[in-house]
A and B are shown apart, each in its own frame.
Chain A
Amino acid sequence: MSNKKIIPIGPYHPLQEEPELFKLYCEGEIVKDIKWETGYNHRGIEKLSEQKTFDQVFFLVERICGICSTSHPFAFANAMEEIADIEVPDRAKYIRTIIGELERLHSHLLWVGLAGHFLGYNTVFMWAWKYREPVLDLFEMITGNRNSYAMFKIGGVRRDITDPQIREIKKVMQVVKRKTDLLTGAVMDDPVIHARTKGVGILTKKDIADYAAVGPTARASGVDIDIRRDDPYAAYGLVDWKVITAEAGDVFAKAEVRLLEMYESIKIIEQCLNKMKREKEGDTEIQVREIPEGIGTGRAEAPRGEVFHFVVTDGSNSPVRHKIRAPSYVNIATFKKSCVGQTIADATISLAAVDPCYCCTERMAVAYDFASKERLYSGYELLDISRRKTEKIKTQKSQ
């Protein structure tokens, strides 16, 4: 054991949505095992939900995740509408879909930026985050907030999207499309990014089935699942789009799936904007007087994969039990497959590839020898190892 080093990544920063601690057990440069600890910032949201009314639960679940803050209200609304057996007006369906897809756009842009940052491509980071801003501005225009939009309620949405707003969204979508072309070109054609991400952190179809992984993590390994198509909700069954998959299962495939998904999101938003014009303005909700006794299972495809909400009601105005499963709960566990056998320099990007919250890596990571308590690397030095590897490849390629 004396030559084995343990590198803890985590535990957390209070501002991020998923605090966790990864301990990488290393021999020399190679990661031999990985252990995971969580619960540093456990908020007991499932329990809290039992003490709130259904309307209040929307605001609670919206705060589970800071990035995909509309996925949880989406899944919760689907579960409640299943119990109450109601269908929302078409205009509300389109608005819900637009909000869901705008969120996917800004979340994927955020991921592309951070992935670039990890690899030492700060230009990609700056670009992606710059182009994410207009999407956040759209949210501010539609909902009054850049995040935590409070758009959902049982039976519909809280706000309509007006005609001038529709025009503005269309304009911004054109800009985002052009910028996505630029980003996709920069990432997909760069030989150094290929060298750093191809064949790294591979997950096979068998691994995906074993860990029940979802979302882009599963689709990048050739597992063709997407709740938007498989169990259609909101307006996803009313518009034309396709599910993006890749076969390789490595970090590059995950990036490819996310980048191409952004085009599909833009396609979906544009179709929804055109179709919602045909619906009556202001017809965005139906009144729901009471929720009967029953059980409901609601799902929504968040940027990171399937969000699942299970709600039990007893005829009162609060849930009796509310179980929530976020996609990272199943996706994070795949690290055991994707990181073991990799070098420390590749572990950072392999960890980042499933899009967990990885601000942890920057702020808290320290590598130290467990026997002597001697510090080996700080979080910044770990990032530096990753970036140095990119620089080395760049130099080799240019020679």
Chain B
Amino acid sequence: MKTDKLADTIIAVFEKDLLKIDYLKETRLSVHINPGAIVNVARFMQVHLRLRFIIASAMHTGKGIEILYHFSDDATGNIINVQVVLDENKPEIDSLTGLFTAANWIEREMYEILGINFRNHPNLEKLLSDGNWAEGVYPYRKSN
């Protein structure tokens, strides 16, 4: 499926939770959504569109803490980024571990480097620096 067709499908299903769509290039698409809808959107990506979860990237920007969930459509070579913005004072979002185990480690990593709380994560502990890093200090926050 071409990215514009994919975008139409996503617009039709998630009209309420959709904030913006960026058409980056022929095979790349960014979908900005309401953080509350992440589990439903990810489930739709995985079950209906049959996309593969690649990884998630989190970053601290002027808007707050942003997460991009990257999904790959291996049949066409498309990459769909599902983008959410969280409040930087209390970054919180639902965990995707209920949908696929692949989300487990990367959510722990994002919790560690940016202090994002993933609700319903089975084991939200530090992944990279357990016991070697100060509590409450997040190295990837820009204020540090």
The reply to whether the CB of A42 lies closer than 8 angstroms to some CB of chain B is yes
Interface residues of B in 126-143 (CB under 8 A from A): 126-130, 132, 139-140
Contact between B140 and A230, CB atoms less than 8 A apart: no
Chain A interface main SS type: mixed
Question: How far, in angstroms, from A39 to B109 measured CA to CA in the complex?
Answer: 11
The stretch of B7-15, B21-29, B31-39, B84-92 in contact with A is B21-29
Contact between B128 and A230, CB atoms less than 8 A apart: no
The reply to whether the CB of B102 lies closer than 8 angstroms to some CB of chain A is yes
The reply to whether the CB of A175 lies closer than 8 angstroms to some CB of chain B is no
Q: Which residue of B has the minimal Cβ distance to A226? A: B74
Contact between A230 and B75, CB atoms less than 8 A apart: yes
The reply to whether the CB of A306 lies closer than 8 angstroms to some CB of chain B is yes
The reply to whether the CB of A152 lies closer than 8 angstroms to some CB of chain B is no
Chain A 89-129 interface 0/1 with B at a Cβ cutoff of 8 Å (1 = within): 00000000000000000000000000000000000000000
The reply to whether the CB of B68 lies closer than 8 angstroms to some CB of chain A is yes
Interface residues of A in 311-332 (CB under 8 A from B): 312, 320-321, 323, 325, 329-330
**With A297-B81, A325-B54 as given contacts, are A308 and B101 in contact (CB-CB < 8 Å)?**
no
> Residues of B contacting A310 with CB < 8 Å?
55, 57, 68, 70
Interface residues of B in 101-144 (CB under 8 A from A): 101-102, 104-106, 126-130, 132, 139-140
Question: How far, in angstroms, from A359 to B59 measured CA to CA in the complex?
Answer: 34
Question: How far, in angstroms, from A299 to B79 measured CA to CA in the complex?
Answer: 10
> Residues of A contacting B129 with CB < 8 Å?
39, 42
Interface residue tally of chain A, by bracket?
A: 20 to 34
The reply to whether the CB of A29 lies closer than 8 angstroms to some CB of chain B is no
Q: How far is the CB of A91 from chain B (nearest CB, A)?
A: 24
Contact between B104 and A297, CB atoms less than 8 A apart: no
The reply to whether the CB of A210 lies closer than 8 angstroms to some CB of chain B is yes
Contact between B54 and A333, CB atoms less than 8 A apart: no
Q: Which residue of B has the minimal Cβ distance to A323? A: B57
Question: How far, in angstroms, from A294 to B81 measured CA to CA in the complex?
Answer: 14
Contact between A306 and B54, CB atoms less than 8 A apart: yes
The reply to whether the CB of A140 lies closer than 8 angstroms to some CB of chain B is no
> Residues of A contacting B70 with CB < 8 Å?
297, 308, 310
Name A residues whose Cβ lies closer than 8 Å to a Cβ of B. Answer: 37-39, 42, 44, 46-47, 82, 85, 209-212, 225, 230-232, 294-295, 297, 299, 306, 308, 310, 312, 320-321, 323, 325, 329-330, 333
